[in-house]
Structure 1
Amino acid sequence: MKRRILGHGVGGALIATGLWGLARESDVDLVGWAVWFGGAVLAHDAVLVPCVLLVGAATTRLPRSYRRLVQGALMVGGTVTLVALPFVLGLGRRADNPSILPLPYGRNLLIVLAAVLALAACIALCQGIRGRRSHGDR
C-alpha cells in the first residue's frame, strides 16, 4: 500500500512538473497542446482499446499455444498501421514542397506488415516443431 501511494505521489509530481513547464514556456500553444493530448487519449480509448478487445474476442477459438502469438502479431500490425496511417494518407503533403513526405509510405507499411507476419509464422513453425519433438520424446 505504501509503495502505491509513493508511486502515485512520484507520478503526480512528474505530471505537475510537466504542466508547470508547459505553463511557463511563452512559445507553447496550450490550446494546440491540449487538443493534441486529447486526441492521443481519444485515439487510445476510442480506437486502440476496442481493437484490443476485438482481437481478444476473435482469437478465443485458436489453440492456446498460438493464441498469444496471433494476438501479439495483430496488435503490433494494428499499432504500426495506426501510427503510419497519416503518412500513408499523405496528411500534410503539399504540392509546392515535394520534400514533405517523399517516400512510398503505403508500400513501406506493407513491407513492415509482411515482416511481422513472417516473424509470427516463423515463431509458430518453431513452436510446432518443438511441440512435436517434445511429444515424440515421451
Structure 2
Amino acid sequence: MRSSPAAPASDLLQADDRRGPWQPAARRDSLWQRLRLLVITQLWDAYCRARSQPEQPTQPAHIAARVISAARIQMRRDWLLVGSNIRLRAGVLSHWLRGRQPSMTAEAFQSRWCHEEVLCSRPAEVTEPPHMHWTAAHPVPLPR
C-alpha cells in the first residue's frame, strides 16, 4: 500500500492543507496557526509593496526578518497581558476592547509561545521581559 505524497509546502502554508501525512502536534497547533498567519501576512505585505513600488524589490531575507519581528512584537504584546489587565491600563472605554482577553497567565503565555524554549522563554519575574531566542542573526543559534 502506497502512502499519499506530502502536500507541497505552498499548500500547507496557504491553505493549511491537512490531507497529507504531516500534521502539527496537537499541543503546537495554535502556535502553527499563529506563525502561519504571521508568514502569510508578511508575504501579502511584500506582494502589495512590490505591486505599488516595483522599483524597490523585496528580498526573501527581508520578508523572513519581518516575520521574526512580527512574532517578537506579538510575544511582547502577549507578555504585557501577564500580570496586568489591559482594560484597566488602556485608557479607553473597556467595551472598546471586547473580544480581546484582558489578561493572561504566565502559564498561558508559556503554553502559547515557549514550546521547548525555541522561540522564547518565560522569565522568572513578571516584571522582566520574556527572553527572545528567535532572531534573524546568522548563524541561527541552536535551541537549548
Q: TM-score range by the shorter chain?
A: 0.3 to 0.5
Point out the structure with max Rg over C-alpha: 1
The structure with more helix, counted as a fraction of residues: 1
**TM-score, scaled relative to structure 2:** 0.35
**TM-score, scaled relative to structure 1:** 0.36
